[in-house]
Amino acid sequence: MRFSLALLIASIPAFALAEDARPLFDGKSLTGWMQRNGTASYRIEGDTIVGKTSEGSPNSFLFTEKPYGDFELSFEVKVDDELNSGVQIRSASIPEKDGGRVHGPQVEISTDGCAGFVYGEGLGTGWLTKEADGFKGKPEKSPFKAGEWNKYTIVAKGKSIKTTINGKPVADLVDETTGMLSGHIGLQVHGIAKGAGPYEVRWKNILIKELK
C-alpha cells in the first residue's frame, strides 16, 4: 500500500510537531513508565492512559523511568469532577524518605479552581504557588474546563516553573523551596476514602522537549 507523508503529518495534532518534542507515551504500551505508591490502576484505551482510583488507596503515581531536568512538557487531560489529580515534575521516590513516598513539585489537575498551580507533594510545604489559596472553590476564575479535555504546558528551567492551561498562563513560580532541579515525571491518581469512587483521570498527547 502506498504511503502519503503529507497525510501522515496532517493527522498529527499541531502541537505535536514542535521542534525536538517527543512522545513520553508511545500510544500502545507503558514502556518507559513504572508505578510508585498506591494501588490505583493504569490502563491504555486507544491513545490514552487512564488512571482509576482504588478504594482506600493512598496517592498512586505512574513514573517515568528517566529523570528530567529542564524541559517543556505538554499533555491533554480529562478528569472526573470528583477527583483531584496532578502531574509530578522533578520528583523522586527513594527508600530513605518516608519509605519511598513520592515527593516533589506537582502541577494540579482539579475542577476546584486550583488547576495549574504547583503543590509540594510529600514535602509538607503545602502550595508552592501561594496564590492558589485565592482560587480554591472558585472554578470560574480558572481556565480549566470541567468535563472536557484540557491542554497543559509546563516549562521548567532552572528554578523557574511556568504553566499554562488551554493557552492561558496560570503559575509563574521561582522555586526557592524544594531544591529539586531534576527528577521524574509522574501521573497521579489521588487517594480516595473507603466507600468513594471509583473515579478516573485520562492523559493523552504527552510530549516533552528537553532544554539545553
Domain borders along the chain are: 30-210
Among the listed residues 187, 148, 210, the one whose alpha carbon sits nearest the alpha carbon of residue 25 = 187
How does pLDDT run along the chain (212 residues), one tens digit per residue? 343 333 333 333 433 445 689 999 998 899 999 999 999 999 999 999 999 999 989 999 999 999 999 999 999 999 999 999 999 999 999 999 999 999 999 999 999 999 999 999 999 999 999 999 999 999 999 999 999 999 999 999 999 999 999 999 999 999 999 999 999 999 999 998 888 889 999 999 999 999 98
Provide CB contacts within 8 A for 99, sequence distance 6+: none
In the beta sheet, which residues pair with residue 22?
208
Q: What cell does 198 get?
A: 471509583
- CATH homologous superfamily of 30-210: Exo-inulinase; domain 1 (2.60.120.560)
d(CA 95, CA 160): 28
- Amino acid 62 reads L
Asked if residues 42 and 50 have their Cβ atoms less than 8 Å apart, the reply is yes
Half-sphere exposure of 27 (CA within 13 A, CB side): 7
